[in-house]
Copies of this chain bind each other. A is one copy, B any other.
Amino acid sequence: MKKSVDFYFDFSSTNSYFAAFLLPAICERSGATVNWLPIHLASIFRGTGFTVTEMNAPKSRYLWRDHQRYAEITGLPFKRPSRFPIKTSIALRGVLAARRIAESASAEFSQAVFRAYWERDEDISESRLIVDIAESVNLDSGPFLNAIDSDEIRSELAAITARAIERGVFGAPTFFVGNEMFWGKDRLDLVERELHKV
C-alpha cells in the first residue's frame, strides 16, 4: 500500500498555508501521497474548549514577525491578510467539491485558495471568488457550484472535522503518518523522518 500523510488544514491558519506548499515536496521525496483533509478550525476550537483569550497582543505581534521570517527563509510569498480571521466554510467545502469532480483537483484547488488569501489578500469568504478559483484550476463551475452547496458536502466537512477531533486534533496544520500525530509546520522534519520509518 502506498504511504500517505493525512494533512488536516484550514485556510485561515497561517501555518497551514506554509505546510500546503512544503508538504507535497516532502511526500514526493518519500514516495508518499498527501491526503488533503479540510477541517473547520472554529469547530475544532469549540470542540476542544480552546479560547482565543490566550492570543494576547505581545504574542500576536511576535507571531506575525515570526511568519514573516519564515516566509523569507522558505522563499514563500507572504502578505498579512487585512481580513483575519476569515470565514472559510465555503472554501473548505470547495476542496471536497473539487475532489468530487476530479480526485486530483483537491491539491491544486487548495493551493490556489491559500495563494489567494496569503499572497494576494483576497476575500476567500466570498463564493464568487471561490468559483473563480475553481475555474482557474479547470473545474467546471456548474457541477462545482452544485456540489459546494449540497448537503452531502456539508456533511462530509462536518464528518472530517468530527473525526479529526476524535483523533486528537486541536489545531492546524496537523499531520498523521499512520497513527503518529504531528502538530504544526515546525514538525515537518519529523513527518519526513516518520515516513522513512514506515
Q: Show the binding face of A for B, using Cβ within 8 Å.
A: 48-51, 53-54, 56-59, 61-62, 65-66, 69, 73, 165, 168-171, 181-183, 186-187, 190
Contact = CB atoms under 8 A, between A and B. Distances in A.
A76 to B, nearest CB: 16
A57 to B, nearest CB: 8
Number of copies: 2
B49 A56 contact: yes
Contacts of A190: 69, 73
Given A62-B181, A170-B62, A54 B51 contact: yes
A170 B181 CA distance: 27
A54 B56 contact: no
A169 B58 contact: yes
A51 B56 CA distance: 10
Contacts of A186: 186
Contact of A58 (B57, B61, B170, B182): B170
Looking at A54, A73, A183, A187, the one whose CB has the most chain B CB atoms below 10 A away is A54
A51 B48 contact: no
9 contacts: A48-B59, A49-B53, A50-B54, A50-B59, A53-B53, A62-B181, A62-B183, A66-B183, A66-B187
A98 to B, nearest CB: 29
A113 B187 CA distance: 28
A190 B65 CA distance: 13
Q: Which 9 A-B pairs have the closest CB atoms?
A: A54-B54, A59-B170, A48-B56, A58-B170, A186-B186, A49-B56, A58-B168, A50-B54, A51-B53
A89 to B, nearest CB: 22
A81 to B, nearest CB: 22
Given A69-B190, A190-B69, A56 B170 contact: yes
